[in-house]
Structure 1
Amino acid sequence: MITGDLKTKVDRVWNTFWTGGISNPLEVIEQMTYLLFLRRLDELHTAQEKRAAFMKRPIEDPKFTPEQDHLRWSRFRELDPDTMYLTVSDAVFPFLREYGRQVGGEDSTYSAHMKDARFTIPNAGLLATVVDLVDQLPMADRDTNGDLYEYLLSKLASSGVNGQFRTPRHIIDLMVRMTAPTPADEICDPACGTAGFLVAASEFIREEHPQALVDAQQREHFHRSMFHGYDFDSTMLRIGSMNMLLHGVESPDIRYRDSLSEGAAGDSEKYTLILANPPFTGSLDYDSTAADLQRVVKTKKTELLFMALFLRLLKPGGRAAVIVPDGVLFGSTKAHKEIRRLLVEEHLLEAVVKLPSGVFKPYAGVSTAVLFFTKTGTGGTEDVWFYDVRADGFSLDDKRNPVGENDLSDVLQRWQNRAEEVGLARTEQSFLVPKQEIVDNSYDLSLNRYKEIEVEEVEHRDPLEIIAELEQLDDEIRAGLAELKEMLQ
């Protein structure tokens, strides 16, 4: 999440595009993303140059060859507007389209998404202004570019017909840390958008398992077969691919796919970890939905179909952390009850983490929770852990300003020490609920079904005593008014 001065600078870039004649929000995002990407490539190359000079050895994995030096951000931004415009349109963008082949090969998904990259800024003046503004954006933090993407996408006028909206970075980080990806995982987000979950997972592995990038076999897995993301928006795929590449994943599997469609059935039992915030509120025609998903849960609701999809995609023993709207937890339709029954009876449902209703503002006010489960096919659910997140470090209004109250570190700490949760009262912020109680409640997974509210006993005065006092006050007021009336006569 970006705030304050950085948000103001991004808004200035956005407004400059609009006043310059580019009014399609996705086109603004796409063109700005290309410029951010080019700037970041130059910064990475500059860091490599400094490291090579210090070590007195050639640059490893250069972003630009000596012949391409004039294509670097730091070079073309110094040109006059007309020359800059010709350089970017005639040389920099062709380089950008070819860059994926240099990094990931002819068959890389990045190469596939970038081959159609178009430069659509209409004139030299607008390009010069936007380049100057983009150059002022701070990008030293590895996550800043991802935050910029998220904020840019938040400026779209609507969430789209299938209910997509962006997941706050701190919620993503919590889900990643609670699932603790390992170097052996194959991680998938079937509705990846800008690849925020995949980026966070890659960063976690870098921090917690640095050996994954030392061993040659594990390094190959990290760069080419660990991360998988699907979406049916080509712009999101380009942004997601660049986001992953900028975070050091050379050839992620980011590809075009309608995950719920009949033609997307080839990945059954392929992944060991799913991290996702699937579209809510959307509905599909039965004819366009995979038949095997409809056999699991007969519905048009995308949030329920995605739950069935997750179970299909996971290998036995694979785990998932997914955000769902509250309706999934307590919905009374046959489809709602069946998906909950599957999680509780046929797999291992581990936790329900209730999120504050304002966590997705200003984009959406939907109330949500995070479900944590493991695919077993043989059951295994015993006690389900519930946690009531009341604060996430930001105000729960449209402004989402930072505040002192934040339960997220407590969520992680309690999750990692779940053995100590046994016996906690239902009045606590977290507690365990036995499987049988959930079964007896028609598999209802809403926190309020099991949480007990501690009512403090308050002693009230006798109503007759209060009435007597009121009558006395009334007599005193009437006496006072009579005295005042006599003084005025």
Structure 2
Amino acid sequence: MITGELKNKIDSLWDIFAAGGLVNPLEVIEQITYLMFIHDLDDSDNKRAKESAMLGLSYESIFAESVKIGDRDIDGTQLKWSVFHDFPTQKMYSIMQEWVFPFIKTLHNNKNSAYSKYMDDAIFKLPTPLVLSKVVDSLDEIYKLMLETKRETDKTEIDIRGDVYEYLLSKISQSGRNGQFRTPRHIIRMMVELMKPQADDVICDPACGTSGFLVTASEYLKEKHKEEIFFHKQKKDHYMNHMFFGYDMDRTMLRIGAMNMMTHGVESPFIEYKDSLSEQNMDKEKFSLILANPPFKGTLDADSVSPDLLKVCSTKKTELLFLTLFVRMLKVGGRCACIVPDGVLFGSSTAHKAIRKEIIENQRLEAIISMPSGVFKPYAGVSTGILIFTKTGHGGTDNVWFYDMTSDGYSLDDKRTPTPNENDIEDIIKRFHNRDEEENRARTDKSFFVPKQEIVDNGYDLSINKYKQVEYEAIEYPPTEEIMDKILELDAQIAKELAQLKVML
């Protein structure tokens, strides 16, 4: 994560928006996303022009001498960040509002930019020329510092841009509709390390939000499979264009999520507007890995839900429908790690039992990790768990591994201050990948196995409290007479000291 001067510059940029009346974190990030996109268009065009010149090839700039905006033909060079950022404040504001924003929308039609398809309905919201001027100057300083940071560290430009964008996203502090909230980065990283994505995986998050799971999976692959992916033409193409899929119904989130992926080096992720639970989503047996934190507490109109999901689990609850969807979307052999509210694990309704039975009897349920309720504070205090299973289509659940997570490295109150000495994450990852050594653990330990039949006999209940054994230690207290003598002794001492105090007064 970024620190020092670069962090301070981003905080200052945020203050400029606040002073201009833009205080909604999502709107601020959206406007910054647009401006970063416009800046990067200029950089990428210059880079391609230089590369073409070195190779002796012709190159047609997107900033041509004549660009059509509406009914007008204008000089395209005025749309370049490196040109208009030196214009007088009022002129720069007019060009941005009347020419640049309409221009980035037209790019999609010509498919000249991988970024452009996410900017189709971009709206320019900076209120005054002065605010725009300050924001442009601030972004210039941030890009300059990013370049200096690259020179001073071993990080690549993509890594630094990714860190900057992650810091921007950390400022989202409000829950969204239907229980949306930002999944902590370290929880996402834990889930990715539990699943160990491979170079040939096709990865999906059907409720992607800002694309945190997809970004972290891409970073993991760069760390663990760099040579396999980037020194192999077909695998690199798969990574850049065919590996990552994310769906969401919030267009603001889609734009932010798409930019988040691209700032982390994935050129063309499939980030699309889609109601994952509706008939609009036809995906079936398509993905080898699903990582998700689907919406909690949401209820839907049954008429809007895909009928094949209701056949498995007749309910309006989004958390149950998403689990059913994950089973449908996975290929045979595909894996899923998803966050669910505790109610999914022990709910007694017919729908709750139906989806648990489906996963236990027809797929292979592998693990349940119970997380403490403070993990999602300050956004939400709901108790959650991580459910991990593999799609088989013919069962295979034998023993289910449970882990009782009590700390994630942060305090469980609204402040969420670091507690480095209290962190179960490394232990969870280590034990999960060495489950052969877990067979003899007692149920008083943090982790243990539960046979499938025992779970079936308990009505497919997956609550860890149903199976964990608590050790009670007997505490011996002194006899009552001894406690009374001690109280009388203390009373006498208090009376003596009060008498001394009275004399002093």
**TM-score after normalising by structure 2:** 0.82
Counterpart of 1:238 in structure 2 is 255
Which letter maps to 2:314? K
Counterpart of 2:29 in structure 1 is 29
Task: Give the Å deviation of 1:311.
Answer: 0.6
Cα distance change of structure 1 residues 173 and 149 upon mapping to structure 2, 3 Å threshold: same
Does residue 322 in structure 1 map to residue 338 in structure 2?
A: yes
Task: Give the Å deviation of 1:380.
Answer: 0.8
Contact conserved, 1:351 with 1:371, CA < 8 A, in 2? Answer: yes
Does residue 407 in structure 1 map to residue 424 in structure 2?
A: yes
Q: Distance in 1 between matches of 2:43 and 2:468?
A: 51
Contact conserved, 1:149 with 1:194, CA < 8 A, in 2? Answer: no
**Aligned residue among 114, 120, 128 for 1:115:** 120
Task: Give the Å deviation of 1:33.
Answer: 1.8
Counterpart of 1:204 in structure 2 is 220
Q: Distance in 2 between matches of 1:290 and 1:380?
A: 27
Counterpart of 1:20 in structure 2 is 20
Counterpart of 1:84 in structure 2 is 92
Contact conserved, 1:69 with 1:75, CA < 8 A, in 2? Answer: yes
Contact conserved, 1:64 with 1:72, CA < 8 A, in 2? Answer: no
Q: Distance in 2 between matches of 1:177 and 1:191?
A: 20
Cα distance change of structure 1 residues 454 and 58 upon mapping to structure 2, 3 Å threshold: farther
Q: Distance in 2 between matches of 1:400 and 1:9?
A: 24
Cα distance change of structure 1 residues 475 and 275 upon mapping to structure 2, 3 Å threshold: closer
Deviates further, 89-98 or 362-371: 89-98
Aligned length: 476
Cα distance change of structure 1 residues 474 and 145 upon mapping to structure 2, 3 Å threshold: closer
Which letter maps to 2:366? E
Task: Give the Å deviation of 1:447.
Answer: 1.9
Counterpart of 1:462 in structure 2 is 479
Q: Distance in 2 between matches of 1:225 and 1:129?
A: 39
Percent identity at matched positions? 52
**Aligned residue among 142, 161, 167 for 1:148:** 167
Task: Give the Å deviation of 1:373.
Answer: 0.5
Which letter maps to 1:318? G
The one-character-per-residue Cα deviations of 1:378-437 (angstroms, maximum 9, x if unpaired) are 111111112222222222222223331322122212222121112112222222222122
Contact conserved, 2:162 with 2:260, CA < 8 A, in 1? Answer: no
Unaligned stretches of 5+ residues in structure 1: none
Q: Distance in 2 between matches of 1:38 and 1:111?
A: 10
Q: Distance in 1 between matches of 2:372 and 2:46?
A: 43
Task: Give the Å deviation of 1:17.
Answer: 2.6
Does residue 221 in structure 1 map to residue 234 in structure 2?
A: no
Does residue 132 in structure 1 map to residue 137 in structure 2?
A: yes
Counterpart of 2:151 in structure 1 is none
Cα distance change of structure 1 residues 467 and 400 upon mapping to structure 2, 3 Å threshold: closer
Which letter maps to 2:101? F
Counterpart of 2:149 in structure 1 is none
Task: Give the Å deviation of 1:31.
Answer: 0.9
Cα distance change of structure 1 residues 65 and 176 upon mapping to structure 2, 3 Å threshold: farther
Task: Give the Å deviation of 1:190.
Answer: 0.5
Cα distance change of structure 1 residues 183 and 308 upon mapping to structure 2, 3 Å threshold: same
For 1:241-390, list aligned pairs within 5 A: 241-264=258-281, 266-390=282-406
CA RMSD of aligned residues (A): 3.6
Q: Distance in 1 between matches of 2:190 and 2:56?
A: 40
The one-character-per-residue Cα deviations of 1:253-284 (angstroms, maximum 9, x if unpaired) are 111111111332x1111111101110001101
Task: Give the Å deviation of 1:193.
Answer: 0.9
Counterpart of 1:195 in structure 2 is 211
Q: Distance in 1 between matches of 2:186 and 2:250?
A: 24
The one-character-per-residue Cα deviations of 1:36-61 (angstroms, maximum 9, x if unpaired) are 344566677899999x7xxx8799x9
Task: Give the Å deviation of 1:227.
Answer: 1.0
Contact conserved, 2:104 with 2:116, CA < 8 A, in 1? Answer: no
Q: Distance in 2 between matches of 1:358 and 1:7?
A: 27
SS of the aligned residue for 1:283 comes to: coil
Cα distance change of structure 1 residues 399 and 178 upon mapping to structure 2, 3 Å threshold: same
SS of the aligned residue for 1:442 comes to: coil
Cα distance change of structure 1 residues 47 and 358 upon mapping to structure 2, 3 Å threshold: farther
Which letter maps to 1:16? I
Counterpart of 2:105 in structure 1 is 97
Unaligned stretches of 5+ residues in structure 2: 66-75, 147-156
Q: Distance in 1 between matches of 2:233 and 2:493?
A: 92
SS of the aligned residue for 1:359 comes to: helix
**TM-score after normalising by structure 1:** 0.85
Q: Distance in 1 between matches of 2:61 and 2:214?
A: 23
Contact conserved, 2:292 with 2:339, CA < 8 A, in 1? Answer: yes
Cα distance change of structure 1 residues 145 and 2 upon mapping to structure 2, 3 Å threshold: closer
Q: Distance in 1 between matches of 2:376 and 2:132?
A: 33
SS of the aligned residue for 2:374 comes to: coil
Which letter maps to 1:297? C
SS of the aligned residue for 1:310 comes to: helix
Deviates further, 68-77 or 179-188: 68-77
Q: Distance in 2 between matches of 1:100 and 1:415?
A: 45
Counterpart of 2:449 in structure 1 is 432
